[in-house]
Amino acid sequence: MTNYTLRQLADYLSADIDSSNAGLTITGIAGLTTAKSDQISFLSGPSYLKYLPQCQAGAVMLRPEDAARYQGAKLLIDNPYLAYARLSKLFDQSHDKIERSVHPSAVIAKGVKLGKNISVAANAVIDRDVVIGDDSIIGAGCYIGPNVCIGARAQIAANASIYHSVVIGDDVLLHSGCVIGADGFGFAPDKDNRWCKIYQLGSVIIGDRVEIGASTTIDRGALEDTVICDGVKIDNQVHIAHNCRIGENTAIAANCGLAGSTSIGRNCTLAGAVGIVGHIDVTDNVHITGMTMVTKSITTPGSYSSGSSAIDTREWRKNAVRYNQLNEIVSRVKALENDRNK
């Protein structure tokens, strides 16, 4: 267990201490309703103010303007939620007991270059001419194909698969079951409507500080590379097709699907289950809400939505019937307008 004094946490966050308890020992982080006297909590927004009076935390991270609302020990900082995110790294113990060695059951091919302080877990397979940077962790059952290059401090979780010639930057985290560099969906019909496979000759290039969720798939390019730029965060069960490009610091939530040759700009967010058709561009600083279907390029920053919210089933059925009648209704309205204008 990792322990810190409140003063150490304040220094780490560059926060102000509004307390005489600078020496208080903190052993972890918890929510306002569950935190104990040796844990620190945080107020992330006004909707959680109602939980402050009963909070049992040893200390709470608050914005300065909220300091008077809590009488216990506190750290004052402009963005408590960001502070919580930064502290979570200090208390993460997921890799504390990982042995930095190569397990006897791992298969390491000829020509592989492993950096310093590497961990390769049981039954991992590392194919020929792979390069892996210092301080990286390769989980149990991973497959890393020929000519892959992985940077420093990578964490490749159990059973992830990385196909040949993929390039991955520094400080990248790939969660279990993700597949990087599988073939894109490329087929050409012949005269008998049989499908001729288009072999995917590109690769996948992943930048620094990228995180890719469990069971997410990123296809290799057909001719050029699929590119995931620095700082991109991708949730679980996302599919990114061949030749897509995802700009710096864009975040993509679960169940999104991007068709081939889609380009997403910098600092965008795609909420859950967004679908984007192929061969379009989305500019920087675009925020797409859940279940939206994007069918044409977006050239102006802002928030975009489509679809409809859940309503009573009987009302939805009535509206569905009316939706199918829209073309007829529009034609009738136009005919009435034409008659009126004669």
CATH of the domain at 244: 2.160.10.10
| 107 part of a folded domain | no
9 with 69, same domain: the answer is yes
**Tell me, what's the pLDDT at 108?**
98
Distance between CA atoms of 249 and 289, rounded to whole angstroms?
17
300 with 317, same domain: the answer is no
**Domain residue limits at 250:** 160-304
Which among 91, 124, 149 is the end of a domain? 91
> For 49-54, which contacts have Cβ atoms below 8 Å and span 24 or more sequence positions?
none
**Looking at residue 16, which CATH number applies to its domain?**
3.40.1390.10
336 with 273, same domain: the answer is no
70 with 200, same domain: the answer is no
**Tell me, what's the pLDDT at 14?**
96
335 with 218, same domain: the answer is no
| 109 part of a folded domain | no
Distance between CA atoms of 269 and 249, rounded to whole angstroms?
9
**Tell me, what's the pLDDT at 1?**
60
259 with 324, same domain: the answer is no
In whole angstroms, how large is the CA radius of gyration of the chain? Answer: 26
When divided into structural domains, the chain yields a total of: 3
| 256 part of a folded domain | yes
73 with 164, same domain: the answer is no
Enumerate residues 6+ apart whose C-beta is below 8 A from 141: 121, 122, 123, 124, 158, 159
| 296 part of a folded domain | yes
| 325 part of a folded domain | yes
**Tell me, what's the pLDDT at 96?**
61
Measured from the Cβ of residue 53, the count of other Cβ atoms closer than 10 Å reads 9
Strands 251-252 and 233-234: parallel
| 252 part of a folded domain | yes
Which among 91, 106, 132 is the end of a domain? 91
Enumerate residues 6+ apart whose C-beta is below 8 A from 267: 247, 248, 249, 250, 284, 285
182 with 222, same domain: the answer is yes
Q: Respond yes or no: is residue 164 known to be catalytic.
A: no
Of residues 103, 242, 279, 287, which has the active-site annotation?
242
| 147 part of a folded domain | no
Distance between CA atoms of 255 and 95, rounded to whole angstroms?
28
Residue entry with tokens 């020990």: 73
282 with 197, same domain: the answer is yes
Q: In what order do the strands lie in the sheet with 211-212?
A: 119-120, 137-138, 155-156, 173-174, 211-212, 233-234, 251-252, 269-270, 286-288, 302-304
Residue 197, classified by CB atoms within 10 Å of its CB into exposed (0-12), middle (13-18) or buried (19+), is exposed
Determine contact, residues 218/212, Cβ cutoff 8 Å: yes
Which among 91, 115, 144 is the end of a domain? 91
**Tell me, what's the pLDDT at 2?**
80
DSSP 256: -
236 with 317, same domain: the answer is no
166 with 80, same domain: the answer is no
278 with 318, same domain: the answer is no
| 98 part of a folded domain | no
pLDDT in tens, the chain (342 residues): 689 999 999 999 999 997 778 899 999 999 999 999 999 999 999 999 999 999 999 999 999 999 999 989 999 999 999 999 999 999 987 766 677 899 999 999 999 999 999 999 999 999 999 999 999 999 999 999 999 999 999 999 999 999 999 999 999 999 999 999 999 999 999 999 999 999 999 999 999 999 999 999 999 999 999 999 999 999 999 999 999 999 999 999 999 999 999 999 999 999 999 999 999 999 999 999 999 999 999 999 999 999 878 899 999 899 889 888 999 999 999 988 888 887
